[in-house]
Structure 1
Amino acid sequence: MRVVMFGYQTWGHRTLRALLDSEHDVVMVVTHPKSEHAYEKIWSDSVADLAEAHGVPVAIRNRPDDEELFAQLKEADPDVIVANNWRTWIPPHIFGLPRHGTLNVHDSLLPKYAGFSPLIWALINGESEVGVTAHMMNDELDAGDIVLQQAVAVGPADTATDLFHKTVDLIAPVTVGALARIAAGETGFTPQNRADATFFHKRAEEDIRIDWTWPAETLERLVRAQSAPYPSAFTHHRGKRLEIVSAVVSEARYGGTPGRIFYREGDGVVIVAGPDARTGRNRGLAVTRVRTEDGRELPATAYFTSMGGYLTARP
């Protein structure tokens, strides 16, 4: 089939790589310009560079809604558009242009975690598995019929970086497998149950600020979700920003006020956590490594030289 590919960053790059290695003919690529957004500088393999290296025409757009691009797409005469990590709305006159429509590849197990940053949100929320879904695009966000879906388990120590590597390896088999079904003339794909749909926004500074009233189990997952190269989860100590690089849930239960710097346990320093921490029924977050405002990374036991005082959301 003749394929036009819409995509960006490493997700788009992996998709384009799979298409170039397949039996299909990539006739055009549309990608976004480089961005200075913190999250868009992560996993930033260039779709444009890969396309140009293989002699594929490239159009660079923030939004695909101009007449010039539409004319180029019509001239490319695609059988199908494949999209992965396209960051803005694709209008119906474009996603409906190809003979077989548009296949969107999304890094979640739809209908859950539609929208942005699905792996990070899924890890924070304690999901047991994540994955990749190829679905036909329609007027709603990540809502079309599912053509192919594959899942991988979330391990007890997995970081968002680990999950990225697990799921990015699914892009090629899911994309090529879905195209095989389309090329074979199949149309009876699986409708999504919209009652199960959840939608998530892009990550921002406020989303990595630690709230010590959250349960320690959730905070431990937040720290893993904000693993390098993502910005670390942070709090404040004595008015200065303090990043939490690694942490575990405490073995013992600790009572008091959320955010209290309480006790050394093993290789960590326990911070009281949870909405009902006063009851003493909660485990705390045992912080093991921190990064200071000036960029120094050190063991929490070396940073917290005495117990007492509080970690706070704001300076």
Structure 2
Amino acid sequence: MRVVMFGYQTWGHRTLQALLDSEHDVVLVVTHPKSEHAYEKIWSDSVADLAEDHGVPVLIRNRPDDDELFRRLEEAAPDIIVANNWRTWIPPRIFRLPRHGTLNVHDSLLPKYAGFSPLIWALINGESEVGVTAHMMNDELDAGAVVRQEAVRVGPTDTATDLFHKTVELIAPVTIGALDLIASGRTDFTEQDRSQATFFHKRSAEDIRIDWNWPAEDLERLVRAQSEPYPSAYTYHRGKRLEVLAAAVSENRYGGTPGRIFYREGDGVVIVAGADARTGRNHGLAIRRVRTEDGREIPATEYFTSMGGYLTGRP
């Protein structure tokens, strides 16, 4: 099939590479300009460079809503559009243009975790598996019929970085497998159960601020979700920002006020956590490694030279 690809960052790069390695013919690539957004500078393999290296024409757009782009798409005469990590709305006149429509590839197990940063949100929320879905695009965000979907398990110590590496390997088989089904004439794809749909927004600095009213189990997953190269989860100690690089749920239960720097346990320092911490039924968060405001990375047992005082959400 003749394919136009819309994509960005490493997700788009892997999709384009899979298409170039397949029997399908990539006739045009549309990608975004480089961005200074913190999350868009991560996993930033260039779709444009890969396309140009293979002699595929490239168009750079923030939004695909201009007449020149539409004319170029008509001239390319694609049988299908394939999109992965396209960051803005694609209008109906574009996604309906090819005879087979548009196949969107999304890094979640739709209908859950539509929208942005699905791996990070899924890890924070304690999901047991994550994955990649190829679905037909329609008028709703990430809502069309599922053509192919594959999942991987979330391990007890997996970080968001680990999950990225696991799921990015699914892009090629999911994408090409879906295209092969479409090319074979299949149209009986699985409609999504919209009652199960969830939508998530882009991550920001507010989303990585530690709230000590959260249970320790949730905070431990937040720390893993904000693994390098993502911005680290952070709190404040004595008015200065303190990033938490590694942590675990405490072995023992600790009572008191959320955020209290309480007790050395093994190689960590336990912080009281949970909105109902006063009951004494909660585990705490045992912080193991931190990064100070001046960039020093040190064990928590070296940073917290004495117990007492509080970690807070604001300076």
1:73-119 CA-to-partner distances (Å, cap 9, x unmatched) read 00000000000000000000000000100000000000000000000
Spell out the pairing of 1:11-160 with structure 2 (5 A cutoff): 11-160=11-160
Residue in 2 that maps onto 1:282: 282
The CA distance in 2 between the partners of 1:100 and 1:184, in whole Å, is 11
Match of 2:235, as an amino acid? T
Q: Which secondary structure does the structure 2 equivalent of 1:17 belong to?
A: helix
Deviation for aligned residue 1:24: 0.1
Q: Which secondary structure does the structure 2 equivalent of 1:149 belong to?
A: strand
Q: Which secondary structure does the structure 2 equivalent of 1:158 belong to?
A: coil
Residue in 1 that maps onto 2:166: 166
Deviation for aligned residue 1:199: 0.2
Identity %: 85
Match of 1:242, as an amino acid? L
Deviation for aligned residue 1:286: 0.1
Match of 2:312, as an amino acid? T
Spell out the pairing of 1:276-315 with structure 2 (5 A cutoff): 276-315=276-315
Deviation for aligned residue 1:129: 0.0
Q: Taking structure 2 as the reference length, what is the TM-score of the superposition?
A: 1.00
Deviation for aligned residue 1:51: 0.1
Q: Taking structure 1 as the reference length, what is the TM-score of the superposition?
A: 1.00
State the Cα RMSD in Å.
0.2
The CA distance in 1 between the partners of 2:294 and 2:19, in whole Å, is 44
Spell out the pairing of 1:240-251 with structure 2 (5 A cutoff): 240-251=240-251
Q: Which secondary structure does the structure 2 equivalent of 1:56 belong to?
A: coil
1:266-294 CA-to-partner distances (Å, cap 9, x unmatched) read 00000000010000000000000000000
Match of 1:199, as an amino acid? F
The CA distance in 1 between the partners of 2:25 and 2:213, in whole Å, is 53
1:196 pairs with 2:196: yes
Q: Which runs of 4+ in 1 moved over 2 A?
A: none
The CA distance in 2 between the partners of 1:88 and 1:145, in whole Å, is 20
How many residues are paired up?
315
The CA distance in 1 between the partners of 2:167 and 2:297, in whole Å, is 29
Unaligned runs of 5+ in 1: none
The CA distance in 2 between the partners of 1:146 and 1:278, in whole Å, is 47
Deviation for aligned residue 1:70: 0.2
Deviation for aligned residue 1:145: 0.1
Match of 2:212, as an amino acid? W
The CA distance in 2 between the partners of 1:3 and 1:275, in whole Å, is 52
Match of 1:66, as an amino acid? D
1:14-54 CA-to-partner distances (Å, cap 9, x unmatched) read 00000000000000000000000000000000000000000
Deviation for aligned residue 1:252: 0.1
The CA distance in 2 between the partners of 1:69 and 1:94, in whole Å, is 9
Match of 2:76, as an amino acid? A
Spell out the pairing of 1:238-277 with structure 2 (5 A cutoff): 238-277=238-277
The CA distance in 2 between the partners of 1:101 and 1:257, in whole Å, is 55
Residue in 2 that maps onto 1:233: 233
Q: Which secondary structure does the structure 1 equivalent of 2:187 belong to?
A: coil
Match of 1:117, as an amino acid? S
Deviation for aligned residue 1:247: 0.1
The CA distance in 1 between the partners of 2:79 and 2:183, in whole Å, is 9
Residue in 2 that maps onto 1:184: 184
1:233-261 CA-to-partner distances (Å, cap 9, x unmatched) read 00000000000000000000000000000
